[in-house]
Structures are given as C-alpha cells and as structure tokens.
A = this chain, B = another copy of it.
Amino acid sequence: MGVIDLPAESQMQQTGERIVNDFSFMVATKNGSGSQTSNSTIVRALFKMGIPVNGKNLFPSNIKGLPTWYTIRVSKDGYTARRSRVEIVVTFNEMTAAEDIVNLPPGGVCILPQEWNWTKSRSDIIYYEVPVKDTVRQFDIPTERREQVSNMVYVGVVAKLYDIPLETIHQALSDQFNGKPKPVQMNYQVVEAAYHWAADNLQKLDRFHIEPMDKTKGKIIITGNEAAALGALFGGVTVTAWYPITPSTSLVDAMLDYKHLRRDPVTGKDTVAIVQAEDEIAAIGMIVGAGWAGARAMTATSGPGISLMSEFAGLAYFAEIPIVVWDVTRMGPSTGLPTRTSQGDILFTYFLGHGDTHHICLIPGSVEECFEFGWRAFDLAEQFQTPVFVLSDLDLGMNNWMAEPFQYPTEPINRGKVLDKEALERFIAEKGEWYRYRDYDQDGISYRTLPGTDHPRAAYFTRGTGHNDQAIYSERSTDWVQNMERLRRKFENARKVVPQPVVDYDAGKQIGLISFGSNDPAVQEVRDRLAAEGIETNYLRLRALPLTPNVHDFVLNHERIYVIENNFDGQMAQVLRMEIPGDTRHIRSLALGDGLPMTPRWIYDNIKRYEGK
C-alpha cells in the first residue's frame, strides 16, 4: 500500500490550516473484539450530523484475534471512495500499531491506550493516550462483554476531540441496538466516561475538525447486501436457496431479517421460502427447480460457489429457466482472499457453462442499484426465461454506504410469457397449437407453461439435451442450429433491454473512461480532480452484459479509452475488445486486483502516466 493520496489532499497535509470534514479515520482493532459496534456508532453519528461519510471494513478471514481495520472517510464534498491515506488512526491493536503509526502523514493523529506505554517515536504526529482499562473498570460489565465495551472508549474520545455531540452518539447507539435500553446504557456509560475523561485530560492539538452540515438529510445508510435483499423482497422473490459463503452470507441474512415484510398478516405465514442447501450445486439446483415450477427464485454466492454452479448454469441457460444468482465477488483464483473485494469473476460468469453459453449479467454501481437490480433481475430473468447474474462485490455488499432512499419499483412485476390455463386455451384457439420453444413472436422468447397448469396440453418436457421447438428430444443438426439461433436472437434482444450504461458524454473530449460497479465513487472523484487540472474526460459506467450498442459508439468515439477495473487481468477490457466490432487498439486497461477497493489516487496516477502530463 505504498500509494499516496491525490495531490490536492496531500498538499493539505503540509499546511497548518484547519481541516474540516475532509479526512479519514482508521480504527485498528482485533477481529471478533466487537469493534464493529463502535465503528458503526461513529459512522452513524457523523451521518446524523449531516456530514457525508463512508465506512469500510478491512477484516481477516478469521473469527477472533487477527487484525482488522475500519476506515471512515468524512468528505464535505460527498466523496465516498477509499482513500489510500488516513489522517487519524485509532490503534487499539498492539500487533499492528507500529505499522499503522508509521503510515500516518505528518500532522496525523494517533489515539492509543495509555496502558501500552507506547514509545512515541514520531515527533511529526500527535498522540492521544487514553486509559482504556481504567475507564472500563469503573463499570460493572459482564466478562464476555468487556472486550466489546472497551472499544467504546475510543468512541468517547473521538467524540470529544472532534466535537461529536454526546446526544448524537446516544442516538446512534440507540439505532445500533434497535433502541434496546440495556445494551445502549451499558455502552453509553463508557462513551460518556471516556468523553469526560478526554474533556478533562486531553488537549486538542491536531487540525482536524468535524462540523455539522446538512448534506445527509433524507439519505440513508445501508450495505449493498441489505439493499439487494430488500430489492429481492420487493421484487417478489418466493424461493431463496443458498449456501453460506463470505461475502454473500449477509445478503441472505438480511433477507431473513426483513422476511417479515413478506409475512401474511392473517396467517403469520411467509410468502418466501429460504432454504440453506448442503452446497452450492444444491442451492442452484433448488432454484432451477423452483424457477421452472414458477417461483421467483434466487441464490447468493461468491467465487467458489460460482464455479460449482457452472453445470446448472448451463442447464438453466439451455432449458430456459429463470433464476437470479448474486455473485458478491471476493478475491480469487480459488479460495483466494475470502474477505477481500474483487471484480474478478466477469469473464468466467459471462461464459459460465461449457458449450456456447453466455449469460445476462447486471452490475450494480451503488446500493441504490443493488436495490433496483434486486427486483429488476427477476423481471429480466422471467422476461427472457434465462439465468440472470448480478455481479456485486464485497466492497459494495458488505460496507456501509450513504444513499438516496430507495425508489419503489417503477414497473409492475413482469412474469414474462407464461400461459396459464385460460391463456393457453386462447393461444391454442388462435394458433391451433402451442409449442414450448417455437418463436411465435420472432424475438427469441417463446411461451412457457407452469407445472400444475390444469390443461391436458399444458405439459412439455424440459431437458438439457437437444430438442426441437416442440420440446421433443432431437439430434438433428437443423433442430439444434435452429434452437441455437433462437437463443442468439433472444440474447441479442436482451442486449437492448438490460440496464443501459450511465453515460456522461460531451463530443470533443478525447478521453473516455469506462468502469463499473463499486469503482464508481473513485472514478467520479478522479474525474473532478482531472477536470480541475484541465483534463476533461467522458465517462461510461457499464451496468450490464452483454454490452449495449451505445458502448460501441462510446469506445469508437474517443481517441483514448481507459477501462478501470478491480481485477488482475483487465477482464472487462477483454470483453470490450472481444465484442466491439472496430479498431480497439486505443483501449487501455487499468486493472488493479489487490483486494482493496479502488482508490482515486491509483487511477489518477495511471491516467497521468499515460496521458504524459
């Protein structure tokens, strides 16, 4: 992590002026110590003060004891990308303290336990030592809670040093514990004590300040996985089958948490079934069975699960069964880094399954889109009778993001071309027949019936083997090719219907940036910075595969295209080269797969390098 921050930021560090609402905290603790509660409390409190804020958790693949870091960025300008540098570090983990401190910029701040008696070897930073043990000892706290509550000490100190009102902390704590008075009180008393201790004992020496703003009014804070779960519940999901895997587990956990939204008030029974399968093959198998039988069915998984789902993905594609698969991507290959973010499953998921298979993939770029694609994915899957993959990632999925309140679905539920008994009767009356895979509308999408349809001609035979348009087994070349051509028609049709990219385009600009997913905040920030330096860029944010036609235009209309992505091989750049019918030599891949969310700094440095300025 030897990268430095954007120039303007680092310049700020050199001067002695007051820095207000534009810096980052990092809290270094141990995994499983309960520091998440403290960190979220700070984030929520800042948010309640109207200050744009973003929290990112960098945690190990471990349950208890290994180092974990939480960074909180406050940005008066509303930037939410990861910054490569933090100004204030709360070092509550002795294992990493040396390294955490060494990385502070001059003028930086270190808050640490007094009882360590740490040698303060840097004279260019400010140390605040706080008596953690003594503060907690004052209270009668059950042993198993003590470690977690100790972390409230830094909350109190931070609140005092940076002028976060105690009431706001109290409210934030109350939110955290859903208003349960006992835990709120247990934690709050420690915050309060630390706050007062700091008031009495610490002299504010640093230049960082928090001041209330009004920039978060009407906004919410939520993780992408929670947003996706809500989207699915408002999208009418009826069957979810899953197998636990980081970082997708919290998506299904959120479905369980919000399942009450789908509870029949009269009977108290649910309109959604959530089943923990024995593995990912079974999970996707269950939703393929459910999707076939008429449920809106989904699963959520990550890399290893995607690999295991390959065979079923191909079956669902070829037998034309609607399912929704969330891939909350983590770092691969293989088991890789289960708690690090990545956008490295693009090529593999796009072509998941042997033979000539390819899938619709949606790529949300914000928690709002996690919600939106949460419901829209079902409409697309049922409209096109095909699997829809949603490629989110750990950063988007598991971190807390500020967002506009979600918009209630703008379109009615679309179940696609399903013939129920009456519709089937009408259909047959009109056309004299109904064949499952006949392309009646020349859009590649044929009509399906659901099992249980009470009509003697409703049944058809579903299979992963070759079939003619009557759903009868066939090994004839012509039947095979005809069916594949229909599938291609369908896919080409989907190309026009999937979420279009978000394009910011001005003719005349020579540089086009292409990115997607959780990189968006970093790209947005870097564009502002470049523009400030006179380097104007256009920007296209992809939201789906296959590529929509306007992507071609965007690529071909620029002299230089930078494809910014969070993986090692530059997979999206590869897809662009593969699909765009034209000279694509001006595409340059800016790919970094180091497990961390993209920083504006890295993009900036690379673009500047290539632009030679």
The 6 closest A-B pairs by CB, nearest first: A332-B355, A334-B464, A303-B354, A333-B355, A307-B310, A307-B311
A466 at the interface (CB under 8 A from B): yes
The reply to whether the CB of A568 lies closer than 8 angstroms to some CB of chain B is yes
| Distance between Cα atoms of A107 and B354 in the complex (Å) | 43
Q: Which residues of B contact A342 (CB under 8 A)?
A: 355
Alpha-carbon separation in the docked complex, A481 to B593 (Å): 7
B337, A318: Cβ atoms under 8 Å? Answer: no
Q: Give the total of A residues in contact with B, Cβ under 8 Å.
A: 67
Residues of B within 8 A of A319 (CB): 334
> Any chain B CB within 8 A of the CB of A395?
no
Q: Say yes or no: is A315 at the interface (Cβ < 8 Å to chain B).
A: yes
B1 touches A465 (CB 8 A): no
Interface assignment of A577: CB less than 8 Å from any CB of chain B? yes
Q: Would you call A355 and B478 a contact (CB within 8 A)?
A: no
- A480 at interface by CB-CB < 8 Å: yes
A314-B337 in contact given A303-B355, A585-B582 (Cβ < 8 Å): no
In the complex, how many angstroms separate the beta carbon of A262 from the nearest chain B beta carbon? 31
Cβ of A6 within 8 Å of any chain B Cβ, yes or no, is no
Is the CB of A594 closer than 8 A to any CB of chain B?
yes
A348 in contact (CB, < 8 A): yes
Copies in the complex: 2
| A490 CB within 8 Å of chain B | no
Residue numbers in B under 8 Å from A61 (CB-CB): 465, 475
The answer to whether A578 and B581 touch (CB under 8 A), given A335-B463, A339-B475, A594-B481, is no
Chain A residues within 8 Å of B, Cβ to Cβ: 1, 60-61, 303-304, 306-308, 310-311, 314-315, 317-319, 331-340, 342, 344-345, 347-349, 351-358, 463-466, 475, 477-478, 480-481, 484, 488, 567-569, 571, 574-575, 577-578, 581-585, 593-596
A578: contacting residue among B60, B463, B574, B585, CB under 8 A: B574
Q: Which residue of B lies closest to A339 (CB)?
A: B475
- A585, B581: Cβ atoms under 8 Å? yes
* Distance between Cα atoms of A356 and B481 in the complex (Å): 32
* B477 with A595: CB separation less than 8 A: yes
Please measure, in the bound complex, the distance between the C-alpha atom of A134 and the C-alpha atom of B308, giving whole angstroms: 57
- Which residues of B are found within 8 Å of A568, using beta-carbon distances? 356, 481, 484, 488
What residue in chain B is nearest A334 (Cβ atoms)?
Answer: B464
List chain B residues, Cβ under 8 A from A466: 331, 336-337, 340, 595
Beta-carbon nearest neighbor of A571 in chain B: B356
Chain B contacts for A348, CB-based, 8 A: 310, 351-355, 357
Name which of A60, A315, A336, A339 has the most chain B CB atoms within 10 A of its CB: A336
Bound Cα distance from A34 to B594, whole angstroms: 59
* Of the residues B333, B464, B488, B571, contact of A335 by C-beta under 8 Å: B464
Q: Which residues of B contact A358 (CB under 8 A)?
A: 569
Q: Given A1-B477, A1-B478, A347-B351, list of 4 further CB < 8 A pairs?
A: A60-B475, A307-B354, A358-B569, A481-B593
